[in-house]
Amino acid sequence: APQINFQQNEFIRANYQAADALSASANLRREMPKQVPILVATLVNIDSLTESSRLGRIVSEQLQARLSQHGYSVVELKLRGNLFVKQDQGELLLSREIKDITTNHKAQAVVVGTYAVANSNVFINLKIVGNDNILLGSYDYSLNLDADTKAMLINTKK
C-alpha cells in the first residue's frame, strides 16, 4: 500500500487512513479484485439523508483518491447521468438503489457514508456494501471541527 505522507494535512491523513481501513476490512470478508469497479457515493448528513455539504463531497473525493492509489478501479459517479443527484449536494445513494447502480456500472461494491456534527468533532461512519447488499466492511472515525471543517459544512450556493 502507498505510504501516507505524515507531513500532509491531518484532515487528508484521517480520510486516507479511513480508506485504508475500509479496504482492509472488506478484503477480510471477500476477495475484492482490483480491476472490478468500486463506486464511492457522497457522504450525507446523518440528520437529513438527502443532504450533503462540501465536507461530504471532499471526504468522498479523498476516499476515491486513496482507493485509486491502492490500485482499485474507482468509478467517478459525478460523470454519470443516471444517478439520483440533488443539485449542490453531490451523489446520494440509498440502500435500495445499490443493486441497480452496481449492476449498471458492473461494480462489485459501493462505499456509502454519513457524518454527524458535534461540538468539537465530525463523526463519520463509512460502509462498503457489496452488489448483493451485504455489508463487507465498515469504519468509524472523527475529524476535528476546526475552522476549515466548519467552513465546509456551510451549504453555500455558488
Q: For residues 50-57, give the mean pLDDT.
A: 87
pLDDT at residue 29 in the model = 76
The pLDDT of residue 85 is above 60: no
**Domain 10-152 in CATH 3.40.50.720:** no
pLDDT at residue 93 in the model = 54
Give the separation between CA 130 and CA 133, rounded to whole angstroms. Answer: 5
Helix, strand or coil, per DSSP, at residue 31: coil
pTM of structure: 0.83
Mean pLDDT of the chain: 82
Q: For residues 19-24, give the mean pLDDT.
A: 92
Instruction: Give residue limits of the domains in the chain.
Output: 10-152
Q: 79: how many CB neighbours lie within 10 A of its CB? A: 6
- Residue 134, judged by CB atoms within 10 A of its CB (0-12, 13-18, 19+), counts as exposed
